[in-house]
C-alpha cells in the first residue's frame, strides 16, 4: 500500500466513550476521516490520567518523520515533550 507521502500526517485518532476521550497516535493519509482509515498506529495518549499516559514507538515515528510525514500541532507538542522532535532535528541536520 504505497501512499503519496505529501499527504501523510501523524495525528490523533479519538477513541474511548463520550466525555472520556482516549487517543491513538496514528500515521494516516490527511484525506481520510479523523477516526477512519490509518496506515499505522505508533502510540497512544490518555489525557485523563494524572500524570497523562503517553506511550510512543520512537523508532517508527522517527522513521515516518524522515519519510516526510507531517505531525499535527498537538502531536508535535507531544513528541516535543518526549524529546523526539529534538532527536529528529539533530538527525536531520547532522547529515549536512
Instruction: Calculate the alpha carbon distances from 26 to 1, 7, 32, 38, 95 in Å.
Output: 16, 14, 12, 6, 27
Pair 47, 10: CB distance under 8 Å: no
Tell me the chain's radius of gyration from C-alpha atoms.
Answer: 14
**pLDDT attached to residue 96:** 54
- CATH fold of the domain at 5-94: S16 Ribosomal Protein; Chain: A; (3.30.1320)
Residue 74 pLDDT > 60, yes or no? yes
93/11: higher pLDDT: 11
Q: Where are the domains of the chain?
A: 5-94
**pLDDT attached to residue 45:** 92
**pLDDT attached to residue 11:** 92
pLDDT in tens, 6-58: 689 999 999 999 999 999 999 999 888 888 889 999 999 999 988 889 898 88
**pLDDT attached to residue 90:** 84
Amino acid at each position: 500500500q504505497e501512499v503519496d507521502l505529501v499527504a501523510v500526517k501523524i495525528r490523533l485518532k479519538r477513541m474511548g466513550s463520550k466525555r472520556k476521550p482516549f487517543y491513538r497516535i496514528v500515521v494516516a493519509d490527511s484525506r481520510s476521516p479523523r477516526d477512519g482509515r490509518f496506515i499505522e498506529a505508533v502510540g497512544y495518549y490518555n489525557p485523563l490520567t494524572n500524570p497523562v499516559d503517553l506511550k510512543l514507538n520512537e523508532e517508527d515515528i522517527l522513521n515516518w518523520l524522515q519519510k516526510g510525514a507531517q505531525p499535527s500541532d498537538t502531536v508535535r507538542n507531544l513528541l516535543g515533550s518526549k524529546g523526539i522532535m529534538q532527536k529528529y532535528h539533530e538527525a536531520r541536520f547532522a547529515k549536512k
